[in-house]
Amino acid sequence: MGTIPRMLSEFELIARYFDRPQACDGVLRLGVGDDCALLSPPVGQTLAVSTDMLVEGRHFFAGADPEKLGHKALAVNLSDLAAMGARPMAFTLALALPSADEDWLAGFARGMFALADAEGIRLIGGDTTRGPLNVCITVMGSVPEAQALQRDAARAGDDLWVSGTLGDARLALEALQGKIALPSALLALAEERLHRPTPRCGLGLALRGIANAAIDVSDGLLGDLGHILFRSQLGAVIDAASLPTGPVLAQQAPQTQADYALNGGDDYELCFTAPPANRDAVLSAAASTSTTVTRIGTLIPGSGIQVLDAAGKHMSLTSRSFDHFSEGI
């Protein structure tokens, strides 16, 4: 006679998948299991806090690989800490699940904790409820207040930099949505960028005291840079030929390359500004964290973004950065 699998209770589920033994120390005083976790940020530092939610059908396809989803849900949050120059400390996980599917939970926890362990961030609490699949993480980090890479801290004359490469994640998304065609080997490469983004935590930390302002590229370079420009009351000139296109995007037509590098989202690279006097320091920070960085332009007085082609001519491009409440892409 077969056994009928019994559904885990809420508390068994939390205990089995999310309450891992972890040492309490100077930062973490109390973790999962009480009414609140207790944290003490390092003396003299401020707490950096950010939340990002992933909704099935909106941010990921129904039936998405749970291990990749666990990675991505934490990665997109860590990326915000990186963009602030904050050191990862702790996170909470609010999870709505249609059922307590143990294979799904094991995969999700594996992906999430692999990244958490690699980046030294600890799960300290959360909430678990039945409902349409929804993953909401809040990350906490620490940063000396004067060194936070705020969006309003860019200066006219700053160099504009971006880490890694741009565009492959959006290419993968559009291929999966059937909007463009990609050969399967290239799609697999681009999908890695979409499903397993690498938060630039080390680079964000190394840029403290070197960069002025930073943002992570989640919605597209033009749109995300626009947030720095708006808050810092500046404009920018971008040299399109210098944009670091992803290896898959590099095989597309030139106009497609510029379009996706400027408007593709989901790359989770850092876009940051730094005084020209700090060029060597930026390159050292990148080298010390095994990250590539590319200088793509300059911040100027005024407003708006001018994109110049290789001949120095203005390119006419419209920002079609992602916005959940606008029509379009």
Site for ligand ADP, rule CB under 6 A: 14, 18, 32-35, 93, 95, 123, 125-128
Binding flag, residue 127, Mg ion (CB under 5 A): yes
Q: Which two tokens stand for residue 91?
A: 């996170």
Q: How near is the Cβ of 127 to Mg ion at its closest, in Å?
A: 4
Q: What residues contact residue 109 under an 8 Å CB cut-off, 6+ apart?
A: 17, 18, 70
CB of 8 to ligand ADP, least distance (A): 12
Cβ distance to ligand ADP smaller for residue 18 or 272? 18
10 binds Mg ion (CB under 5 A): no
Q: How far is the CB of 126 from Mg ion (least distance, A)?
A: 8
| Nearest to ligand ADP of 55, 176 (CB atom) | 55
Burial of 161 (0-12, 13-18, 19+ CB in 10 A): buried
Q: Is 172 left (phi over 0), alpha (psi -120 to 50) or beta?
A: alpha
Nearer to ligand ADP, 137 or 217 (CB): 137
Any idea what DSSP says for residue 191?
A: H
Tokens of 63: 């039936």
Least Cβ distance, residue 224 to Mg ion (angstroms)? 33
For ligand ADP, the closer CB: 134 or 319: 134
Selection from ligand ADP, Mg ion, none that 236 binds (CB < 5 to 8 A by kind) is: none
323 binds Mg ion (CB under 5 A): no
Q: Which amino acid is at 131?
A: G
Q: If you ran DSSP here, which 8-state letter would residue 100 be given?
A: -
Judged by beta carbon distances under 5 to 8 A according to partner kind, the member of ligand ADP, Mg ion, none in contact with residue 95 is ligand ADP
Q: 11 or 230, CB closer to ligand ADP? A: 11
- Three-state SS at 22: coil
Q: Where is 299: in which H helix or E strand?
A: strand 293-300
Radius of gyration of the chain (CA): 21
Closest approach, Cβ 281 to Mg ion, in A, equals 45
